[in-house]
Structure 1
Amino acid sequence: MEDMDLSKWSINEYLIIENTDDGTSKEMRFDGENFVALKLPSSKYIKAKNSLQRCALDILNNPDITIAAILGGYGSGKTYLSMQMALYNVREKGRASKILGVRETMGEGKEIGFLPGEMEDKVGRFFEPLTQSLNGGEFELQSLKTSGVLDTNIPFYMKGTTYNETIIVCDEAEDLTESQIRLIGTRLGENSKIYLAGDYKQSLLTKTTNNPLIKMCNEFKGNRKFGCIYLGEDVRSETSKMFADLFEK
């Protein structure tokens, strides 16, 4: 640690030290001057399953980070952690008053079209991953919507809006175009922040580093208001992990 060149580290970059003797690990975040301990939510509320998830929780729990990119592969917990921490910051900490779930329904920036019914009828099923990230499922979703704590929208209908005191949880963010990321980000008003959950390897647009989500992360790297972590392990189940690793070699 004493010989470490701190000039090569970016603000909000994480250091993970693994103890090979007992298998434990310790995580620290670089704040621009020193490595500091993580500030995690109460384990009674949510508990990380590995070091990378602890880093993600530190990002999502940091009131100074207003743009959080929680990236990861299949079953890594990116959507669950983002939604649970949005609820934690609203209901437990009072750092915002509302959550807005955002998802691109088509993956290519298209309008939802002329399907029968209202917008809720057209896009409802697209928000099931967010519903599954709630401990109470559909019942909790309806309760949160009725109380005004949670709302959902798609990028096409966000033009001209401003969201104050809001945490935007943007799921499947790897399918957003550059213009959509700019559109959603510029909707943020006073005391608001955005969590972007996604994985460019699952993108319908491009699975390369030219993916707009990855380009955004590279542009914001080193900014105090930005934090990013890639959750590389499938924690959904052992069977899920088998399929996540399939054809990778």
Structure 2
Amino acid sequence: MTKFRGCIDIHSGQVKQIVGGTLSDNDSTLKTNFTSTHPSSHFSRLYRENNVTGCHVIKLGPGCDEAAEEALKAWENGLQIGGGINDRNAKHWIDMGAEKVIITSYLFPDGKFSRENLEKVVKEVGKERLVIDLSCRRRENGWWVAMDRWQRITETEVNKETLDSLSAYCSEFLIHAADVEGLCRGIDEDLVKKLGEWATIPITYAGGAYHIDDLKRVKELSNGKVDLTYGSALDIFGGKTVKFEECVAWNKDQE
């Protein structure tokens, strides 16, 4: 059943909400919707106290490890961690208290999918501890995985064949619609519907949600098979259109 999942996005050591398409090596292009005065642990405790499970911490570039570790310590074995995860550090983050690790760019050296790299991470942490991030950008003929802070399009299409193949190696998928991430202009309904059709394991969708009714819409489009993350629209991240308490209430209603 569709539920609300939380996020803690960390950039340069601070919890932020960023317009996804502006994230690159050149900070002059960066558009930030919100920068928190609270430490990352504040949001971990908020999610823990309200039983919002399956939340993810994403490190957006360098200088984020300390804040990420602080978030994990505030809710040990309760949060997922992503951003620069590979076979050499995946086990470290599990040992630091992450429930699961999320991998993206490491799976796509030179923009091409590497099953060898995937198997290396699975060997380190196991399938049940692994989330595969297939965040993507829309093209005329579908959606394609985007890596390196969503700036580089890979050769991997997000479709039923891809999800079926990769689901044998992970416990769930995380999929940001990078084209609408942080814009608060609506979800990619076509993508959500397709994800509901393709889903065989849990999927969390992020990107564009700006109203509490988006939870109902995602539930309808995906037949309850896809969960939803709010970012910039949420009041705890400076948003004005979605209240955290409404999201918590939604989850309780679904139980």
Bucket of the pairwise TM-score, normalised by the shorter protein: 0.3 to 0.5
Q: TM-score, normalised by structure 2?
A: 0.34
The structure that is strand-richer by fraction is 2
Q: TM-score, normalised by structure 1?
A: 0.35
Structure label with greater radius of gyration: 1
Q: Bigger relative contact order, structure 1 or 2, given CA contacts below 8 A and separation 6+? A: 1
